[in-house]
Amino acid sequence: MVLVHEIGHALGIAHSASPNAIMFAFYQHEIRGLDVDDINAVQYLYGRKNKYDSIPKSTTASAIPKTTTTIRSTTFILVKK
């Protein structure tokens, strides 16, 4: 775990205040995975993985169907009795 901690420093991550994080300043126990604080630190520096598919870079004009939209409006007048 010390090596993973030092790699975190090489990536630019500072010590964490979370005792369960790999980047905690003091080695306390065996860590079984990345803490939320470790993940947030990496995502803050390098960005999150995009959860959406990317938009295609180009499309042809014939692939886009033509549509016409008509807007209809109705006006109501309320009369007090």
**Residues tagged active-site:** 6
Tokens of 50: 């995009």
Contact indicator for 37, 8 with CB cutoff of 8 Å: no
Q: Which of 40, 3, 1 is nearest to 18 (CA)?
A: 40
Annotated ligand binding at 15? The verdict is yes
Annotated ligand binding at 1? The verdict is no
SS3 label, residue 7: helix
Annotated ligand binding at 9? The verdict is yes
Give, for 13, the enclosing helix (H) or strand (E).
Answer: none
Annotated ligand binding at 23? The verdict is yes
Q: Which amino acids are annotated as binding site, given as ranges?
A: 5, 9, 15, 23
Q: Which amino acids are annotated as binding site for Zn(2+), given as ranges?
A: 5, 9, 15, 23
